[in-house]
Amino acid sequence: MSVVSPWRQRGQQACKCLAAGLLAALVGGCALPDVGYYWQGARGQLQMLHAARPVAEWLEDPGLSPALRAQLQLAQRARDFASQALALPDNASYRRYAVLDRPAAVWNVTAAPPDSLQLHQWCFPVAGCVGYRGYFALADAQAQARPLAQQGLEVHVYPVPAYSTLGWFNWLGGDPLLDTFVRWPEGELVGLLFHELSHQRVYLAGDMNFNESYATAVERLGTQAWLRQSTSADAASPAWQAAQQRRAQFRALTQQTREALETLYAAPPADALAPAKARILQEFRARYQALRAQWLASPELAARPQMAEQSLQRLDRWVAEANNAAFGALAAYDLWVPAFTALFAQQAGQAAPWPAFHAAVERLARQPEAERRRTLCALMPERPAACDGAAAATLSSATR
């Protein structure tokens, strides 16, 4: 059971730079210092594609466990729904399944200065500049993290269960379903598929906040639409709603913490930045423990205490390790979600609201950066700090 997005970075953070890495490796367009990185990306992606088999073949296997069979069938129904009802791409992605036998598809590395939430940027062909770098092996991610830490940056390495190659490899079979997420509860599983497919519908190179907020909005709105028509909604919907409530509570806590850190960094005390920062993070962790106890006392989780504790382990680790890099990466999934949700609501009168919504997002993506940010700010129900003065300038620089 998934509780909240930090360990997913959905999503839970789709390592789209790997698509660019594989492309660059195949055409020989990478700079010499990055040959090793592109090679591990190409090798890992090709190994994953090679391991994938059509879902239909898996379902023909009489030895397939009933639980996995049910999940694969669910994923195929959700995949069809994504294209037919949500106007997401109808292609080869998520029609095959691969067993990786490891806890994550990739591990992402993020970094930020000790006095800023602005992420260190890596730039790639196709994907543009992003605030993370993905590796197929944890040891490789940790090796990348060490020199960044030696430079004085705060570094965060975290597992990613799924990522999108932006549709570039549908001719090779597309992005497969993976054993890293296929057994998730219904609402979580279908939401991840909708999130990753949205990256194949609209992707704005170099603007992580735009891409992840759009995909997160599609994930939430699409899952609601799915559960309204799902024959198993009576069982799946309450669990998903409860998980959404926990996520909302955690988002509120992390947002308040980010705002406190941003305020501190905007006008740091002359000689006491570290103690003030430590107090903010200590309060964050204390408030999380209170939330955690509240969640475990809820009827849903109290009935399954051992499973609940296991489901919270990754989130516990995220909270324990949370630093500027972790908060900076998490912000991308939250920032513009209310704006995209409002944009979707504007299409309610359309005969086909989902195609109209995606078309509106595509028009928004074509706007110049400053105009696009003004449009998003105007759509927000409450004006965030990112829409004001210096904060807006910081946001602008962080998306390039």
Identify the pLDDT of residue 379: 96
Whether residue 215 contacts residue 88, with contact meaning beta carbons closer than 8 Å, is answered with: no
State whether the Cα torsion 287-291-292-297 is positive or negative.
positive
Pairing of strands 96-98, 9-10: unpaired
Give the rounded percent of residues in the chain with a pLDDT score beyond 70: 86
Within 10 A of 171 (CB to CB), how many other CB atoms are there?
9
Identify the pLDDT of residue 233: 64
Classify burial at 347, counting beta carbons within 10 Å of its beta carbon; exposed 0-12, middle 13-18, buried 19 or more: middle
Identify the pLDDT of residue 168: 87
Give CA–CA dist 335/115, Å, rounded: 20
Identify the pLDDT of residue 349: 86
User: Angle at Cα 112 formed by Cα 38 and Cα 395, nearest 5°?
Assistant: 100
Identify the pLDDT of residue 36: 79
- pLDDT range class, residue 389, cuts 50, 70, 90: low
Identify the pLDDT of residue 127: 62
Model confidence pLDDT, tens digit, residues 266-309: 988 777 899 999 999 999 999 999 999 999 988 877 777 777 78
Query: In which domain, by residue range, is 93 found?
Result: 5-398
Model confidence pLDDT, tens digit, residues 128-174: 778 889 999 999 999 999 999 999 999 999 999 998 888 888 888 89
Domain count, the chain: 1
pLDDT for 18 beyond 80: no
In the block, tokens 């740091």 appear at: 268
Identify the pLDDT of residue 335: 87
Model confidence pLDDT, tens digit, residues 298-351: 887 777 777 778 778 889 999 999 999 999 988 777 889 999 999 999 998 889
For the chain, how are helix, strand and coil distributed in percent, rounded to 5? Answer: 60, 10, 30
Give CA–CA dist 127/125, Å, rounded: 6
pLDDT for 70 beyond 80: yes
Model confidence pLDDT, tens digit, residues 199-238: 999 999 889 899 999 999 999 999 999 999 887 766 678 8
pLDDT for 125 beyond 50: yes
Identify the pLDDT of residue 312: 86
